[in-house]
Chain A
Amino acid sequence: MRRVIIILITTLSCFQLYGKELSELNHFLKRYGNFKKLSANFKGEKFLKRFDATIKSEGKLIVNRPDSLTWKILRPVPTTYEFTKNSLKIFEDGKLSQNLDIAKLGPGAHKSIGGLMAWLKLDSKTIEKYYFVSRSGKDQFSFTYKESDPPFKKILATLAPKGYISKVEITELSGDVLTLTFERPEIIREKI
């Protein structure tokens, strides 16, 4: 009987934790429900641990659901990365320089791109599949990769008072930290 009670309590606790996690995620994505297209300007600062240097960039993130994501760097030099479900196109100075089949990039790169896409698409089901979500401040949320051998160490995201994501801090395995500050996004929602 004691064992049954322990099992019941443990199971209920798991549901409770899961429920809490789910509600955190839903709160985090409150502003991004059923959007069709999202675009936001960003300013980036990447701290390169090895060189003890910080490089700055500016650009635009465009997410077209379900499977398209564009990472457009405008400064220092225009470079665009277009991710779809299966391919990665790289444009340099407006010209297509590489068209890569993601499946053939090797397990490391494949996983990195998968992890990046999952998060940046801001889809609760996809994020839930890949990440544990927890609150680390009033409007700050922490995302850690569920599987072993993660592509990133940690992702920290901060919500602006109006509920949209204003800052994302990605700590890479190498110790490099990319801090992206987003402007208020333009969101086109699905017609219901």
Chain B
Amino acid sequence: MKRFNLLLSLFLLVATIKLGLFSSIKSDQSIFFPAKIFQKLTELQKFKYNRWNLLLIPSTTKVKCGRLKKEFSGFIDSVFCHGELSSFGNYIGDWSQDIIYRQPFLGKADLLNRQNRSLSKLSLPLGADSEEIINLYASDPLEAYVDLIEIVKKGNKAFGSGFQSVSVEGNKFNIYPILPNFPVKDELKLTTLMNTIKSSFPKALVIGPFGASFRNMVRIKKDITMVSVVGAIIFFFYFTFNFIKEGTQFFRVLPVLVNSLLLAIIFNYLIFGQIHGVVLAFSPTLIGLGLDYAFHRLYGHEKRASWRANFSGWVTSLIVLLCLSFSDVPFIKQFSMLLATGLTFSLVLFYLELEVFSSFTPLMGAVKIPKNNFFFKASIPILILCSTLFFFKTNFSLSLNGLEYVTSEIQNTRRSIFGQKNFPKPTFLIDSKKDMARVLSRKTPHPSISVANFFPTQAVAKVNLNSWAQEFNTEGIIQSKIFNPYFENFSTHLKQAPSIELAISQGRSYFSDLLSKDSILSVFFIENDSLASFKEIFPQSFSLGEIADSFPRLLKNELKLVFPISLILILLYLFVYFHFSIKKTIFSILPFLTGLGLQAIGVLFLKEGASFVFLVGTLIVYGLSVDYGIFAVSSLESTKEDHRYAELGIWHAGISTLLGMIPLLLASHPVLFQLGLSCSLGIIGPLICAVYGIPLLKRYAV
């Protein structure tokens, strides 16, 4: 048998290497978003507009725009410094090419007047910003850019009055909107950019999709490492302790656990095509849970009773985990599938190891359980009473925030920037490129950014072009060589058809934020009062807020189904298992209720409140803790000696499960922490109840 386990381990290790499994561990946030939400976000990410992030640098640090542009040139398309006009350099050059399509020629006198006015403004000694003003006015004697820049400023949020600097916790930061030139999912570039920012400006903050992704990616990676290392250390000491106390017999479980874990990981990789770091962080938990079956049998001196109870524990766990695996949230689906498959492999492999391939001598229980502990006994009824708090007094946040790792500094910064009353809240509308004409002629009273702001309909463009073609004559109009370069191509333009498709094909930079390969993005800034009427006209429009709001709705619907189904199925199973004894069925769920009481108290101490992840933990604990109930209630009818061994099995199973959960409590990512906390509290309660409470009910059960 030893050879079988070793060969299996070797085979599984080769398989994981061949599959490239550990080198392709994901750490992005996509696992937290249901398909419907992720699709919307992916659709938005096609447009560069959604790549804008805010780089916040402490105002005490002297920063020159040129330095920012130079240092991040490989990763950033644009950076805007203090609203400097030169930041629009690329756009201005391209806008000027299409000026004749956008503006009618108002006559020679008018053009001359505008040019002269622009020249007048140049004589003001304005210092550092004057170069930008020159760029602007020199580029456009019609001054059309001013409006366009205002539009872009609105769209890029941090611009406009009040958003160029922000005060957070008494520290003032200057805001520099940056546009990375790569998609957020490019982890390598994201890491390089963020590291470059950190090395140049150690106290800088990045707010936006790139900043959030990076923070979570780094946190997840750190937490995986921490959980794996702490888990390994904890189990090393645990196994060493038990080896000293119980002898070599104990070590038989090790290869089985490793094989079960590897099999579960490979199985999940083959099903989902990926393995995520957050899911992998539950490996110690799986080891702890898998050990349950081994302990129940190693301490159980009755083979049939032990495996019957083990099987029942597996069934109840599986009911909950399978129900959860139908979730639309990939994280819940993958994590419950990992546990379900891991537990199944553990059960099968332990059975083969202990009963089929070889025999074993049951352990005698050298480790003693502290007996007659009054405190534990007295706490059980109190905790069962407290479990009612869980249903009536505990509020769980179902929002997406529960899935994001965010520091208090970032949270306060976001609040300071986005919480401002006049901060524009964008609503998105995505059209097919085939509907370009409709998009160009679309008119709404709301401020918006769309291709229509930059290019008129073909009919209007034609009229404008004709007015220039008829009257424009460079001689006598262009007074200064400052303006000449911008009119050099006019004659070529005049001969062209005024089509936006042509402008797009020539790669005008100002379209790039709003166009993808096959679709067009329009962004509207709608006041709350007008949102309903806007939605009536454009029902397909959506905002980030709406996307976020759809998550709790979706989750609520899922939990509404999963909770009662699991509850009823497990109760039914217990009812049948205990030969239709209502008393024993109720007794076997008392450990779960004790754990629930402890969870309810734990929630009260959570500073940030409990999220739905905590609730998922409760559900999992329900499936697991009934296991202890079954063992404890089943052993009530056994002899005193057998009952002692059953208790030892429960004690060791509970302790090993708890040890598997503890590393998660050290994680900073809210998903790992809350799940770890929920499961840990949820396991301590059942353990106390099964060992100290259930035996007191013997005279009622028999």
Q: With a CB–CB cut-off of 8 A, which chain A residues contact B161?
A: 101, 104
Instruction: Choose the segment among B127-135, B594-602, B635-643 that binds chain A (4+ C-beta atoms closer than 8 Å).
Output: B127-135
**B130 and A172 within 8 A (CB):** yes
* Nearest CB in chain B to that of A56: its residue: B123
Residues 440-481 of B at the A interface (beta carbon under 8 Å): 480-481
Instruction: Choose the segment among A1-9, A71-79, A134-142, A181-189 that binds chain B (4+ C-beta atoms closer than 8 Å).
Output: A71-79
A113 and B164 contact, Cβ closer than 8 Å, known pairs A57-B119, A76-B119, A106-B83: no
**B129 and A48 within 8 A (CB):** no
- Give which listed residue, B59, B120, B127, B481, contacts A173 with CB less than 8 A: B127
- Does B122 reach chain A (CB closer than 8 Å)? yes
Chain A proximity of B92: nearest CB distance (Å): 13
- Give which listed residue, B121, B125, B129, B480, contacts A79 with CB less than 8 A: B121
A76 and B120 contact, Cβ closer than 8 Å, known pairs A108-B129, A115-B127, A116-B127: yes
* Nearest CB in chain B to that of A111: its residue: B128
A71 and B124 contact, Cβ closer than 8 Å, known pairs A55-B119, A57-B119: yes
- Give which listed residue, B113, B120, B130, contacts A57 with CB less than 8 A: B120
**B125 and A77 within 8 A (CB):** no
Residues 157-186 of A at the B interface (beta carbon under 8 Å): 170, 172-174, 176, 178, 180
**A116 and B125 within 8 A (CB):** yes
**A55 and B123 within 8 A (CB):** yes
**A76 and B116 within 8 A (CB):** yes
**B-contact bits for A23-51, CB 8 A (1 contact / 0 none):** 00000000000000000000010101011
Q: With a CB–CB cut-off of 8 A, which chain A residues contact B138?
A: 48, 51
Chain B proximity of A133: nearest CB distance (Å): 18
**B482 and A51 within 8 A (CB):** yes
**A-contact bits for B475-493, CB 8 A (1 contact / 0 none):** 0000011100000000000
Interface centre among A59, A79, A113 (most CB of B within 10 A): A79
A77 and B126 contact, Cβ closer than 8 Å, known pairs A108-B84, A148-B62, A176-B131: no
Chain B proximity of A177: nearest CB distance (Å): 10
- Does B259 reach chain A (CB closer than 8 Å)? no
- Does B74 reach chain A (CB closer than 8 Å)? no
- Does A190 reach chain B (CB closer than 8 Å)? no
- Does B434 reach chain A (CB closer than 8 Å)? no
- Does B316 reach chain A (CB closer than 8 Å)? no
Interface size class of A (residues with CB under 8 A): 35 or more
Q: A112 to B82, alpha carbons, bound, how many Å?
A: 13
Q: A151 to B82, alpha carbons, bound, how many Å?
A: 14
Chain A proximity of B688: nearest CB distance (Å): 62
Interface centre among B82, B120, B131, B164 (most CB of A within 10 A): B120
Q: A2 to B518, alpha carbons, bound, how many Å?
A: 80
A77 and B134 contact, Cβ closer than 8 Å, known pairs A106-B164, A113-B126: no
A111 and B127 contact, Cβ closer than 8 Å, known pairs A51-B138, A55-B480: yes
Chain B proximity of A13: nearest CB distance (Å): 29
Q: With a CB–CB cut-off of 8 A, which chain A residues contact B481?
A: 51, 53
A174 and B131 contact, Cβ closer than 8 Å, known pairs A106-B82, A106-B164, A107-B164: yes
Chain B proximity of A82: nearest CB distance (Å): 12
**B127 and A46 within 8 A (CB):** no
A112 and B123 contact, Cβ closer than 8 Å, known pairs A55-B480, A176-B134: no
- Does A132 reach chain B (CB closer than 8 Å)? no
- Give which listed residue, A76, A101, A111, A172, contacts B131 with CB less than 8 A: A172
**A77 and B120 within 8 A (CB):** yes
Q: With a CB–CB cut-off of 8 A, which chain B residues contact A75?
A: 120
Q: A37 to B480, alpha carbons, bound, how many Å?
A: 36
Residues 53-90 of B at the A interface (beta carbon under 8 Å): 59, 62, 64, 81-84
**A44 and B123 within 8 A (CB):** yes
**A48 and B482 within 8 A (CB):** yes
Chain A proximity of B63: nearest CB distance (Å): 9
Residues 96-149 of B at the A interface (beta carbon under 8 Å): 113, 116-117, 119-131, 134, 138
Q: A150 to B127, alpha carbons, bound, how many Å?
A: 9
- Does A67 reach chain B (CB closer than 8 Å)? no
Chain B proximity of A126: nearest CB distance (Å): 16
Q: With a CB–CB cut-off of 8 A, which chain B residues contact A113?
A: 126-127
**A53 and B122 within 8 A (CB):** no
Q: With a CB–CB cut-off of 8 A, which chain A residues contact B116?
A: 76-77
* Nearest CB in chain A to that of B86: its residue: A174
* Nearest CB in chain A to that of B481: its residue: A53
**B-contact bits for A48-91, CB 8 A (1 contact / 0 none):** 10110101010100000000000101011111010000000000
Chain B proximity of A186: nearest CB distance (Å): 21
Q: A116 to B130, alpha carbons, bound, how many Å?
A: 12
**A-contact bits for B496-532, CB 8 A (1 contact / 0 none):** 0000000000000000000000000000000000000
Q: A107 to B60, alpha carbons, bound, how many Å?
A: 12
- Does B174 reach chain A (CB closer than 8 Å)? yes
- Give which listed residue, A48, A92, A115, contacts B117 with CB less than 8 A: A92
* Nearest CB in chain B to that of A75: its residue: B120
Q: A39 to B165, alpha carbons, bound, how many Å?
A: 37
**A173 and B131 within 8 A (CB):** yes
Q: A101 to B160, alpha carbons, bound, how many Å?
A: 12
Chain B proximity of A103: nearest CB distance (Å): 9
Q: With a CB–CB cut-off of 8 A, which chain A residues contact B117?
A: 76-77, 79, 92
**A149 and B62 within 8 A (CB):** yes
Chain B proximity of A96: nearest CB distance (Å): 15
Q: With a CB–CB cut-off of 8 A, which chain A residues contact B59?
A: 107
A81 and B124 contact, Cβ closer than 8 Å, known pairs A92-B117, A106-B82, A107-B164: yes
Q: With a CB–CB cut-off of 8 A, which chain B residues contact A116?
A: 125-127
A48 and B122 contact, Cβ closer than 8 Å, known pairs A107-B174, A108-B82: yes
Interface centre among B122, B130, B482 (most CB of A within 10 A): B130
- Does B162 reach chain A (CB closer than 8 Å)? yes
- Give which listed residue, B64, B126, B134, contacts A149 with CB less than 8 A: B64
Q: With a CB–CB cut-off of 8 A, which chain B residues contact A170?
A: 125
Q: With a CB–CB cut-off of 8 A, which chain B residues contact A55?
A: 119, 122-123, 480, 482
Residues 159-178 of B at the A interface (beta carbon under 8 Å): 161-162, 164-165, 174
- Give which listed residue, B64, B81, B113, B164, contacts A77 with CB less than 8 A: B113
* Nearest CB in chain A to that of B126: its residue: A112
A178 and B480 contact, Cβ closer than 8 Å, known pairs A107-B165, A172-B131: no
Chain A proximity of B417: nearest CB distance (Å): 16
Report 13 cross-chain contacts, Cβ distance below 8 Å, ordered by A residue: A46-B122, A51-B138, A55-B122, A55-B482, A57-B120, A71-B124, A77-B116, A101-B161, A106-B164, A112-B127, A112-B129, A170-B125, A174-B134
4 more CB-based (< 8 A) A-B contacts, given A78-B120, A178-B125: A53-B481, A55-B122, A106-B164, A112-B130
Pick the 4 closest A-B CB pairs, nearest first: A112-B127, A151-B127, A57-B123, A174-B131
Interface residues of B (CB under 8 A from A): 59, 62, 64, 81-84, 113, 116-117, 119-131, 134, 138, 161-162, 164-165, 174, 480-482
